[in-house]
Structure 1
Amino acid sequence: MQRGLYAAGTGMATATQWMDVIANNLANTNTTGFKKDVMVFNDGLDDAMRRQSAMGGDVGQIGSGPISKGVFTEWTVGNLQSTHNPMDFALGTPTGLFAFQGIDGVQYTRDGAFSRSNSGQLVTKRGFPVLSRDGNPIDVPEGTFTVGEGGEISVAGKILATIGVFNGNFVKNGSDQYSSDNAVLMAPERVNIRQFTIETSNVNAVEEMIAMIRLQRNFEMAQKSAQAEDESSQKLIQSVDNR
C-alpha cells in the first residue's frame, strides 16, 4: 500500500518537473537559436517519455514511478530563415556555438542575430563582443562585407577576421547562452555559417502543448491514486483500532 502511495507521489513529482520544462520550452518558442530541453528517465518508459512531443509514446504510466535522470538540451537545428541583415548568422549544423565575451568570462550562443556597435565591433543582442577564432573581439566594416561558411569575414577578397565556432559540453545558463569548461575550436571546414540567416527555436509549440495536456492528465490520475491509497490506509487503520 505504501509502495503504491510512493509511486503515485513520484509520478506527481515527475509530471510537475516535466511540465516546468515544457513551460520553459513554450516560453522560448520565438527565441532565436533556442534549444529545447527534454527529460530523460531510468525505466522502461525511457524511449516514450524522452520525446517532448509524446506523439508516439504512452505516458499514461507516469504514476508507475519513473525517476528522472535529468534535463538535457536537444541540439537539433531550428528552421533557418533568410533576412536582409548582413550581420545575421546561423549555424547550419547541430554542433557548434558562437563565442562572446560575457561579464563572467567567455560564453556561448546559437543566437547569431548580431549587430555592429558604435565602436565597430560585432556584438550580441546584449552588446557583448563576439569572439574570433583567436579569441579576440571582431571589428566589422561599415560597408559591404561577406562571410564564408568557415566564418571568414572578407572585404574585397581580403580576410579581416574569422568568427570562432566552438564545440564541447555546454551547460545552459540562460535562454540563449551557455557555459563550457572544455569547448574547443571547430575546424573551418566543419563550420557551416550562413550569412543573412537566423536560426529559429527548435521548439514545436503544438507538440509541446500536446505533451503538456497529457502530463496534466497523468498528474491528475496520480493524484487520484494517491488519494485512494491514503483513504485505504485510513480505513485499514480504523478497522484495526475498532478490534
Structure 2
Amino acid sequence: MQNGFYTVTGGMVTQFNRLDMISENLANSRTNGYKQKNGIVGDFMRIYQDKRDELPLPNQTREAAKFLNRSINRVPRLVEEYTDFTMGPIVESGNPLDLALGEKNLFFAVETPGGIRLTRDGAFKINDKGELVTRDGFKVLSRNYFQSRQAITIPFDAINVSVGKDGRIEYLDKTAMDTPVYLDDLMVVRVDNLQDLRAEGDNYFAMPDKKLEEEMNVVTDTRAVYQYMVEKSNVNPIREMTALIETNRLVEMYQKAMNAQMDDMNNDAITKLASIRA
C-alpha cells in the first residue's frame, strides 16, 4: 500500500473544495449583501485530538491505536465551513427603496416559496401589485406580519416614500402634501448567533432545524435602517484572487506528488524487482 498516495489525494480534494468556495465568493463579489464563505483546513490527527475524549476508547490502548490510522493521520481536509458576517461597504444609491442595515447581526425578513428567510440585501422594488419585494420578487415583511399576514403595499400615487431609521414607512399624499401618511413598519430581525444561519442562494439565510417564526427576535427599537443606501458584498476580490492563485499552485504540487507516487516509485519498484542478479 502506498500511503503517500492517499495523503496526496486527500490534499487535492481539500483544495478542490477551497476552489469551489473561492469561485463562489468571486462570482458574488458584486452581489448586494453577500457574505463571504470560508473554510478551516485541518487533519485527522487534529480531529482525533479534539474528539478523543468523546470516543468510547481509552487513550493509549490497542483499540485506540487501531482507530488512529497512521496512514491518514496527516491527510489535510476541510473540517469546517463558515460564513464571514462582517459588514460590507454601505454606498449611496439615490433610490428611495434601497435600504441598508448599520449592524452586522440585523436582517430584513422576506417571504420565499421555502418559507421566511433573512437577507442583508435591501435593494427593494415595487411589483405590479404595489407590494414591496426583493429583486427576486420575494415579499418584504412588515413588523406586524404574523398578525395581519399582509405584505407591505405602497400606493402607486404615493409621493416621497420615506423610511426612518426605526423602519417606519411614510409617504405624502397628493391631497395633503404637508402631512406624512403612516404606511407600515419594516420587520428587522436580530440574530445573536450568526453561525446558526444557513446560507441559501446568493444572499438569503435560514435557521436549520428550527421554525424561524418562533425563533426570530424582531427588533422594535432599532435605529440602524438607512434609506437611499445599499450594502455591498464583503468579498475582497484581490484577496480572493490571491487565494485562487495559491490554491491552483497547491493543486499542481499535489498533482506532481501524485505522479511521483504512481509513476516514478512504481517504475523504480518494478525495475528493481525485475532485475536478476547472478
Q: Say whether the fold is shared (TM-score over 0.5).
A: yes
Contact 1:96 1:191 (8 Å CA) reproduced: no
Structure of larger gyration radius:
2
Alpha-carbon contact 1:89-1:195 (below 8 Å) kept: yes
Alignment gaps of 5+ in structure 1: 47-63
Flag the structure with higher strand content.
2
Write out per-residue CA displacement over residues 130-185 of structure 1, whole angstroms, 9 at most, x where no aligned residue. Answer: 00122241123421232222212134466432211224432112012222234413
Give me the CA root mean square deviation: 2.4
Specify the alignment match of 1:100 in structure 2.
110
Write out aligned runs for 1:35-184 (5 A).
35-43=35-43, 65-135=75-145, 136-141=150-155, 142-155=158-171, 156=179, 159-168=182-191, 169-180=196-207, 181=210, 182=212, 183-184=215-216
Q: Secondary structure at the match of 1:189?
A: coil
Give the 3-state SS of the residue equivalent to 2:139 in structure 1. coil
Matching residue of 1:14: 14
What TM-score results when the alignment is normalised by the length of structure 2? 0.73
Q: Give the Cα–Cα distance (whole angstroms) in 2 for the partners of residues 227 and 177 of structure 1.
A: 42
Q: Deviations over 1:12-62 (max 9, x none)?
A: 111111011101111111111111111122359x9xxxxxxxxxxxxxxxx
CA distance in 2, matches of 1:78, 1:164: 21
Q: Deviations over 1:58-108 (max 9, x none)?
A: xxxxxx632112322111111101121111001122112211111222122
TM-score (ref. length: structure 1): 0.83
Distance (Å, rounded) in 2 between the aligned partners of 1:138 and 1:94: 24
Q: What is the aligned length?
A: 225
Percent of aligned positions with the same letter in both sequences? Answer: 32
